Amino acid sequence: MPKVSSVKLPSRSHLHQRIASADFIDCYRVQSNLRPRPAAEIITNFPAWVQVLLNFRGIVTAPFGLLKEGLDDVNKLGPFPVESENPYELIAGFNDKHLNFRIGVISDDGYVYLATWVHPHNTGGKLYLKSIMPFHILIARDALKRVGSCTDSVSQ
């Protein structure tokens, strides 16, 4: 089974440009030679149990007018519009009323990193972030285990 580790955000990540003092940032990595786009496609191909959680989230947050996914975009991975992409890093995500968030999928030196940056706008955003944190950790770690298990990880 692939080993997923909690690590610091790589210094080359463009997410560093966003981080302010009250923001949330985390980063995990797994051994893999996948490039950012194929790794991000695996990450956003959510298993059934994550789909159930996302559907539940959609029902609970609907009365508050929160987005279920980013606006329609030609360049999208799952629910996330791609903001930027280069051979080293893909950043996707969107802004909502309660918070802004981005995920960064980084490929560097035989590892794939999955970073999450969140900027809460208000108390609702902070409460939301706190309430989903246990699920976020499970989802992020599971996503990287799936990346690490990819049989094509050496060839891409």
pLDDT per residue over 68-120, tens digit each?
A: 555 555 677 877 889 999 999 999 998 888 889 999 999 999 999 999 999 99
DSSP structure class, residue 32: -
Residue 50: is its pLDDT beyond 50?
Answer: yes
Number of structural domains (the chain) is: 1
- Please indicate, yes or no, if residue 156 is contained in any of the structural domains: no
pLDDT for the residue numbered 150: 84
* pLDDT at res. 68: 52
Report if pTM > 0.75: yes
- With b for 16 or more beta-carbon neighbours within 10 A and e for fewer, the 33-61 pattern comes to bbbbebbbebbbebeeebeeebeebeeeb
At 8, the amino acid letter reads K
Residue that wins the pLDDT comparison between 127 and 27: 27
- Measured CA to CA, the distance from residue 145 to residue 138 in angstroms comes to 11
Q: Is residue 98 part of a domain?
A: yes
**Rounded CA separation 112/117 (Å):** 16
Domain span at 77: 5-149
Cα dist. 31→42, 57, 84, 149, 150 in Å? 14, 31, 23, 9, 11
Residue 155 lies in a domain: no
Mean pLDDT, to the nearest integer, of 43-70? 64
What pLDDT digit, counting tens, does each position of 128-154 carry?
Answer: 889 889 999 999 999 999 999 985 444
Judged against a pLDDT cut of 60, whether residue 155 lies above it is answered with no
Q: Is 49 inside any structural domain?
A: yes
Taking only the tens place, the pLDDT of each residue in 1-31 is 899 999 999 999 999 999 998 899 999 999 9
CATH of the domain at 18: 3.30.530
Q: Specify if 87 maps to a domain.
A: yes
